[in-house]
Amino acid sequence: MQMFPLVAKGAQVRRRGKVLVGPVDLTLGGQGTSIVIGPNGAGKTTLLKMLHGIVRMNGGSLDWACPLEEAQKRQAFVFQTPVMMRRTVIDNIAYPLRLAGMGRKDARERAADWASRVGLGEILQRQATMLSGGERQKLALARALVREPEVLFLDEPCAALDGRATREIEEILAHASDSGTRLIMSTHNMGQARRLADEVIFVLGGRIHEFSPAEEFFAGPGTSQGRAFLNGDIVE
């Protein structure tokens, strides 16, 4: 069953009376990579978490083309600061498979395969909390991709990484996208946004100010705030 389109109508997240995100009206199709950009505190993370369903909405609606329970099983999330479970690398990657009911042996075999794909094949038995920043992010990616989700949300996955680690992560993402995984990702890095984006969602003050094809946005944003942001000006 098709997951997309994902349709948000007046979706809103409020905490202690303050609107963090919304109201959001958005329709996402099932192809390509959407990049969410905006200044610090714009609401990018909350928007992603709201779309993924791990932040409770206080208004509006969010509808997948398939039942919500089904949609939840077919998506994954990579956090800006990867959460390392207190287990070995292989057990971290195998964990989502075990949750889904796969046997230990099969889960570990598939986890080892994914670890190799992201370059962690040599350190399967290392404790996850002992990994470097780049390795942690690769592990988080492998753990998210191991169940072959149809949608992958990523919250600034390269925020604290050096150039080499960023390139490796982007290669993994490009491969996932080529394999048909829909990527919805936030980033501060405009170069990365230009490299990866098929469409851009520009967020400011919790609202979506622009939602347009990447070429169009980078050629000339339709809003003054978008232009200012792209020029590197301070945007509030």
Partner 1 sequence: MVDRAGMRPLGEQRSAMTDLWAGLSQAFWLLVTLDADLVEITLRSLRVTLTALAIACAIALPLAAFLAVRRFRARRATIAVLNALMGLPPVVVGLIVYVFLSRAGPFGVFGLLFTPTAMIIAQVIIVVPLVASIAHQSLRELWSDYHDLLISMNATQLQRIKALLWDGRRALLTAALAGFGRAIGEVGAIMVVGGNIDHATRVLTTAIALETGKGEFAMALGLGFVLIALAIAVNLCIHWLGRTESEGRW
Q: How far apart are CA 132 and CA 145, in angstroms?
A: 20
**Contacts with partner 1, 194-223, as mask; x by CB under 8 A:** ------------------------------
**Shortest reach from residue 130's CB to partner 1, in Å:** 5
Within 10 A of 130 (CB to CB), how many other CB atoms are there? 12
Q: How far apart are CA 223 and CA 210, in angstroms?
A: 7
Q: How far apart are CA 220 and CA 230, in angstroms?
A: 9
Considering only 58, 95, 205, 218, the residue that binds partner 1 (CB under 8 A) is: 95
Q: Which residue has the tokens 């039942």?
A: 67
When the beta carbons of 73 and 195 are compared against partner 1, the nearer one is: 73
**Shortest reach from residue 215's CB to partner 1, in Å:** 32
- The reply on whether position 68 binds partner 1 by CB under 8 A is no
Q: How many residues of this chain bind partner 1 (CB under 8 A)?
A: 19
Tell me how many degrees the CA angle 93-150-47 measures, rounded to the nearest 5: 90
User: Which of the stretches 4-12, 20-28, 91-99, 164-172 binds partner 1 when contact is defined by CB under 8 A?
Assistant: 91-99
Contact criterion met (CB below 8 Å) for 78 and 157: yes
Q: Under the rule (CB under 8 A), what is the footprint of partner 1?
A: 49, 52, 54, 72-73, 76-77, 79, 83, 85-87, 95-96, 99, 126-127, 129-130
